[in-house]
Chain A
Amino acid sequence: MPTFLQSVVTWLAAVRGDLYAITAVMAIAWAASEVVIGYPDRPVRALGMWGAWVLMLANALFACAALAAGLALIPGSASVWMALGVGLSWQAMLRGGINIQPVPISAAPGAGGEQSLGVPLNELYTRLQGFCVGQIQRQLVGERVSLMERAMAKLDVADLARVARLVTAALAASTAEAERYIQRIETDPNLSGERREIMLISLVLDNGGADILRARVKQQRKT
């Protein structure tokens, strides 16, 4: 067996998987909470997007790499407390604006071999986070637009206004305001039929009426 593979196998045999699992779970939970906070209206749907999975996995990988570095730097520190400590402090460091420069693994201090890889890890993570969040946003918007197109093809303004009234009736505090708004959309002479439909559908979707709208489109397709 080649030396490299042997050293990998030796390392894997000695590794404390439970510690990495603790740190990884903390990192995944942290990234998931960021996604949920970012999309308060559709947290579960947002968590199901591949952008969210990439963010959670990347966060776990970064945290596990930090734990590996910590364990290598402090011999005999392998404990649950170390895993918890790294899990927490790593998240705080990544998001606290602390400049974390990647350190070469092999170079001994003072050997003159330390050369930064250029991009600080926290900046790298921020870029990755931005990319993943952008993907989640695009996917969510894409789904809404697609449902909007289907609803426009199947339902007319009167149908949509009925669904909008149904959905906004649940808004106890602003039902009257919603009713005035729906009436304005229905009667405003400056609005085209298409714009009336888009606004009514947006109103329905924005008030949690996606399932009702989907059911109405499906029903219309059958008749």
Chain B
Amino acid sequence: MPNGENTTMRLREQEINILQALLRKGPALPVEVAVRTFSFPEDIAEPLGALEQQGYVERQKLRKGEMFVLTKKGHERALGT
């Protein structure tokens, strides 16, 4: 499945923006990730899910809700982009 391979290798612009935002300002709630990239929470749900699946970000449960944190792999990727 060449298309599937491509999506794991290459990140879309919004995914890169999210990684950069997490690198620049640290861990964030979903709504904070959205405002950092000037988008709405529903716009970033899918790219965040894709980044999580590829191991670039990690979802951490909180008492109320959840937050997203860059993994080591995500940190390296964000620095490289």
Contacts and interface: CB of A to CB of B under 8 A. Distances in A.
- For chain A, the bracket of interface size reads 20 to 34
A166 to B, nearest CB: 16
Contact of B64 (A145, A174, A178, A184): A145
A141 interface: yes
A38 interface: yes
Contacts of B60: 134, 137
Interface centre among B40, B64, B69 (most CB of A within 10 A): B40
B69 A206 contact: no
Contacts, number: 52
B45 interface: no
A38 B26 contact: yes
Contact of A141 (B25, B34, B41, B67): B67
B32 A206 contact: yes
Contacts of A191: 40
Contact of B38 (A178, A188, A198): A178
| Interface hub of A137, A141, A177, A184 (most chain B Cβ within 10 A) | A141
Given A40-B24, A42-B26, A137-B60, A202 B67 contact: no
Interface of A: 38-42, 134, 137-138, 140-141, 144-145, 174, 177-178, 180-181, 184, 188, 191, 198-199, 202-203, 205-206
